[in-house]
Amino acid sequence: MTRPTHSQFDAQRNPRELSRRGFGVVLISVGVGLVGCKVGPNFVAPAGPSLFGTYHQSSLQNAEQTIIPLDPQTSRWWTYFDDPILQQLITDASQQNLSIREAYFRIAESRAQLGISKSQFYPQFNTTTDSSYKRNSQNTSNTSSTTSTGSYMNFSNGIDSSWEIDLWGRLARGVESANAELLGQYESLNDIRVTLLADVATTYIQIRVLQQRYSIAMQNLELQKQTLHIVQSRQEAGIVGQLDQSEAESNVAVTTASIPPIQQELQTALYRLTVLLGQTPSGAFVLEEGFANLPMAMVQNVAPGMPADLLTRRPDIRKAYFDVMAANAKIGVAVADRLPQLTIRGNISVDARDVDILYTGNSISHSVGPGFRWNILNFGRLKRAIEAREASHQQSLVRYEAVVLKGVQEVESALVEFARQKERVTELERVVEATNRSVEISLARYEQNLITFDRVLDAQRSLATAQGNLATARGDVLFALVKCYKSLGGGWE
């Protein structure tokens, strides 16, 4: 038979001691058994709006034309424009843009916050070193006789530790939230990339459009100067009056006056492009006018896929998804704050009045034991905190649905814009062709005295307007195509 120990006899003689120790054992056992239990709702993927079927505008595409696949998961859409300058600008912007660099630091911050959340699972240690001078009062009744009349130095060095037992998953939910926020920051970076690449392409196309408009204006100015020379010769010969010459001079002046605004817009667009590239705006940054042709290789129909693809394609939708996940986890943190918290605390230190004996055996003191905390009287503060987290979660669900609907709307709008702008280009090409013939015929008939100079002026002005409209419309087609790629979330890979 095993002989009982003194502690067992003491416990048997003291029912309160038995009850206290039993409660401690049960509490620790329950704590160990509940580690990994997480209160609060488990995450359920948000349903969002129904995205079955196809895009309405995609069904209006002409099936006889070549369909160019639009798969941003496996391709870089800007390469389809077959423009080496655009490709280089995209590369430079991806590496140098300041918004991209800022987003990287936000990711680094979120990653650090995740590390902080994970570290709370482990025991926390603090070391302290202290020295103090003390003089005891001689007028207190409970002053020890050995220290009542003197003063002394006290030296201390020790380590404190605490370890929270995650009974209800408060720490685990915190890690869930921090991890979701980190993933959300990655999607924010991807969203910035999508917007940046679209902005670079749009600005580049705008520059090319302005260069074409400038070239068209200069060509029309030269044509009008030649017409003015013809009118002057006929006026000097007495064939026509001074009115024709005045109208020809006015036509030249109007075209000349239209050139400076184009140059202003062009330089402004160049400045905007330099900022997108992370550079200082400078007049030294130019794009050779020899490359002023628009990158028209992709003026085809597009195959946008299914609306449901947006859930994985668009970074802003993915970001909203992780926001829902983070908000859901924070509900669990708030719920756990209302429940008891168990912490294992420990301390070991050396204390002495003389440094020489500080690290001797008699100077050592230590303590260890569980700490129990339950915030039971908080006047509804913790309950309201749960309600606030639940409301925040509902907000994130609504935002998710709104982002999804916005994504579908942007795709539909980009598709219809792309289709209609192509139709406009086709008609404007016919207009330019017709006005070109009109200018040639009217000028020839004017030289034969078959028509008045008004007809020549009308034809030349119509040609200048039609050519400018055609250049702008071709740019609008490419703008719409870039919008298609952007709305589908292409380019962040």
Query: In the chain, what are the domain boundaries?
Result: 37-123+169-338+398-487
Q: Which amino acid belongs to residue 323?
A: D
Q: What is the dihedral of CA 296, 301, 305, 311, to 10 degrees?
A: 50
- For residue 72 the two structure tokens come to 């941003």
**Widest Cα–Cα separation across the chain:** 144
The H or E element that residue 415 is part of is helix 381-447
Q: Phi and psi at residue 7, in whole multiples of 5°?
A: -65, -35
- For residue 51 the two structure tokens come to 């995205």
Which residue do the tokens 């800007």 mark?
78
Identify whether the C-beta of residue 317 lies closer than 8 Å to the C-beta of residue 403.
yes
Nearest of 157, 3, 113, 48 to residue 407 by alpha carbon: 48
Residue 308: the pLDDT is: 84
Within a 10 A sphere around the Cβ of 250, how many other Cβ atoms? 13
DSSP, collapsed to helix, strand or coil, labels residue 172 as: helix
Residue 285: the pLDDT is: 59
- Structural Rg of the chain based on CA atoms: 39
Q: Which residues contact 236 (CB under 8 A, 6 or more apart)?
A: none
Q: List C-alpha distances in Å: 440 to 133, 141, 240, 457, 461.
A: 107, 121, 20, 12, 13
Q: Is 307 left (phi over 0), alpha (psi -120 to 50) or beta?
A: alpha
In whole angstroms, what is the distance from residue 51 CA to residue 47 CA?
A: 10
Burial of 209 (0-12, 13-18, 19+ CB in 10 A): buried
Nearest of 159, 155, 158, 157 to residue 355 by alpha carbon: 155
In whole angstroms, what is the distance from residue 488 CA to residue 160 CA?
A: 55
Residue 141: the pLDDT is: 55
Identify whether the C-beta of residue 273 lies closer than 8 Å to the C-beta of residue 200.
yes
In whole angstroms, what is the distance from residue 479 CA to residue 300 CA?
A: 13
In this structure, the strands spanning 364-373 and 341-352 are antiparallel
Within a 10 A sphere around the Cβ of 65, how many other Cβ atoms? 10
**380: number of CA atoms within 13 Å, CB side?**
3
Cα angle, residue 193 at apex, residues 189 and 198 outer, rounded to 5°: 155
In whole angstroms, what is the distance from residue 293 CA to residue 295 CA?
A: 6
Within a 10 A sphere around the Cβ of 489, how many other Cβ atoms? 26
Fold of 37-123+169-338+398-487: Outer membrane efflux proteins (OEP) (1.20.1600)
pLDDT digits (tens, 9 = 90+) for 144-184: 555 445 677 888 888 888 888 888 989 999 999 999 999 99
Residues in the chain: 493
- For residue 124 the two structure tokens come to 């926390």
In whole angstroms, what is the distance from residue 335 CA to residue 311 CA?
A: 30
- For residue 32 the two structure tokens come to 């160990």
Identify whether the C-beta of residue 51 lies closer than 8 Å to the C-beta of residue 466.
no
Q: Phi and psi at residue 179, in whole multiples of 5°?
A: -65, -40
Identify whether the C-beta of residue 464 lies closer than 8 Å to the C-beta of residue 217.
yes
Residue 155: the pLDDT is: 81
Q: Which residues contact 308 (CB under 8 A, 6 or more apart)?
A: 51, 52
DSSP, collapsed to helix, strand or coil, labels residue 205 as: helix
Q: List C-alpha distances in Å: 8 to 23, 134, 221, 358.
A: 16, 42, 111, 36
Name the stretches of the chain with pLDDT < 70: 1-36, 57-75, 139-150, 282-301
Contacts 24+ apart (CB under 8 A), 362-369: 365/158, 368/344, 369/344, 369/345
Within a 10 A sphere around the Cβ of 392, how many other Cβ atoms? 17
pLDDT digits (tens, 9 = 90+) for 238-276: 888 889 889 889 999 999 999 999 999 999 999 999 999
Q: Which amino acid belongs to residue 452?
A: T
Nearest of 260, 241, 217, 275 to residue 100 by alpha carbon: 275
